[in-house]
Chains A and B, each alone.
Chain A
Amino acid sequence: MYESAREHPWVSRAAILLVAAVALTALGLGGTAVGDLLSPVIGLRDPDAPAGFARDLLVGLVLGVAFLINVEILKLLAFRIQVFVVWGELLLLFYGFVLSFDRDFGVIFEVGARSGVSNLYFLITTGAFTTLYVSLIAIAIACVLALLGALGKLSSNGMAYAMATFYISFFRGTPLLLQVVLIYTGFAQLGFVLEAVPAGITALSLCYGAYMAEIFRAGIEGVPPGQREAARALGVPDGLIFRKIIFPQAMRLIVPPTGNQFIAMLKDSSLVSVVGVWELTKTAQVLGKRDFQVFEFLIAAAVLYWIMSVVFELLQARLEAHYGKGQKR
């Protein structure tokens, strides 16, 4: 099949066209603006007429052909340009999808009569800012906990091993939401009255520290034992072996999944809103409830989360390049 498609590129093209046209027809897009635009072609002049199968099929075919032409043009482009164009196209599709909800997104940019600032400004300065600093502090503490947890789990000391495995098991084995509530209300009954933000940061750090301990352990174990042996043979002290030889090499393995965890944490930090922290999700809901336009603000929050994640994806790529330079040839 693969061979024959290669010999006859038109076969695979026809297959793509068929699949795209069938799928697009099945979506039933005859009633959309595209359908209105195309219907005169097959003699349906009344744009208000109910969209039938003929219109669905017509739109499916036209869009299928457009899709095929798009793919053929993309094939001719260089890799980087392909990436940019496809990202742009997908973003446009996403934009169209959101617009199709027919909601009043203008409210996001509306300026409050008395506050003098736009809703988006408030969403960013109160919500996104809180999400960001809570997540940054929590990931920093989580990294320390993860390192301790990983070292404990790799330790030959029974007590250290037991404490580390207990910690990892408990905080991986219970829901983050419960941890937030338990740390906020439970500790208060023991006399430690943590405010909402510190309680939230504590819960996020403990939970993510437990997950990341396993990442750190895998990273440390992933450094070939020959490295340590060679260093020992050269008489390098044990502490120095870990800091200067094992750790930098482990980081290469640790950074990608840790970046992943951080991006997950950006979003999981919304759970700390239960104790009254106005992070991005909570702020979006509060703003939305004011005018009963929650949906619009949730979309705005989603886009802000996404932008923050993209920024950290780029940072992660740079960090990976830094720790990966030893592997470059």
Chain B
Amino acid sequence: MKSIFKLGTAVVLASVLAAPAAMAGATLDRVMSSKTLTMSSDAEYPPQSFLNDANEMDGFDVDVGKEIARRMGVELKIVTPSWDIITGGNWGGRWDMSVGSMTPTKQRAEVLNFPAVYYYTPAAFAVHKDSKISSLADLNGKTIGACGGCTYDAYLNKDLVIDAEGAPPFEYKVEAGEIKTYETDTHAFDDLRLGDGTRLDAVFSALPTIQEAIDNGGYPMKVIGTPAFYEPLSVATDKGDPEFDAKITAIVEEMRADGTLKKLSEKWYGVDLTSVQ
């Protein structure tokens, strides 16, 4: 029994000592010494990140991640934990950065750092192609689907705070009757696909994601009105390594300056989304 208590004491002690897991420079040191930059990404979010026909991760976010790794002179490795686990912070060094189209909100900034905004995505409403809805005003009182816990959910709840520099101002234009939330945007699209009003009257998501679903997925949807807001999307890192953050900021700035970001945006979205519209 005694040895168990001793072990217990050791565990508690070790955990107290190890608590500030990421000390200054720790992440950067790990990346440079292992020659591997590990990035978290969603594997179910085309065209940002998805599995391509070579069974490898591909997409805009993945290309940005690859380019960051290349400029650091290291290999990129991708892991795919769920969104909640990524946004929960305290990554414990399992991965070094998230290039996952994450909006730098105030709540998230409490557990994560946002060293570099790399593009701005328009948020749009879409309805079933048979729907009579033709303007944002028609959407008031309707049942709208969005990903749970994401910025679209927050917007519909009138609870969206984007505290990134250069985030364009927006106003709440739609009063949803009922908000239905899903694990990921495409699940909401699946419900809308069942028919106009069967489960949903409209979905609210990133315009590029909706466009991809219509163009490549054959979803019977159409986009309504102008984008409700533009959200800046940022690389995220765990708290505690300002040197690593500074490196990311510098690299993304470089990529913006030499036109790499713009080129990648045009490759995946057909338009330049890397500067404020």
> Which positions in A face B, CB cutoff 8 Å?
112-115, 117, 122, 159, 181, 184-185, 188-193, 195-196, 273-276, 278, 282, 285-287, 289-292, 294-295
Contacts and interface: CB of A to CB of B under 8 A. Distances in A.
A interface: dominant SS: helix
A3 B82 CA distance: 62
B161 interface: no
Contacts, number: 101
A19 B130 CA distance: 40
A292 B216 contact: yes
Q: Which of B44, B51, B218 has the most CB of A within 10 A?
A: B51
Interface in B157-203: 186, 189-190
Given A274-B84, A286-B44, A191 B19 contact: yes
A195 B44 contact: no
Interface string B54-92: 111000000000000000000000011110110010111
Contacts of B226: none
Contacts of A185: 85, 88, 90, 92
Contact of B218 (A184, A188, A292): A292
B90 A291 contact: no
9 contacts: A181-B85, A184-B85, A185-B88, A196-B94, A276-B85, A278-B80, A286-B50, A289-B46, A291-B216
Given A289-B50, A291-B217, 6 more contacts: A117-B55, A181-B85, A185-B92, A189-B90, A196-B94, A275-B82
Given A191-B18, A196-B79, A196-B81, A294 B186 contact: yes
B81 A274 contact: yes
B82 A276 contact: yes
Contacts of B189: 292
Contacts of B55: 112, 115, 117, 122
A225 B93 CA distance: 54
Nearest to A193: B92
B102 interface: no
Contacts of B186: 289, 292, 294
B28 interface: no
A289 B19 contact: no
A195 B45 CA distance: 23
A289 B1 contact: no
B136 interface: no
B54 A292 contact: no
Interface residues of B, number: 40
Contacts of A114: 52-54
A114 B189 CA distance: 28
B43 interface: yes
B14 interface: yes
Nearest to B89: A185
Nearest to B81: A276
B219 interface: yes
Interface string B200-239: 0000000000000100111100000000000000000000
Contact of B90 (A188, A273, A278, A295): A188
A275 B81 contact: yes
Nearest to A189: B90
Contacts of B257: none
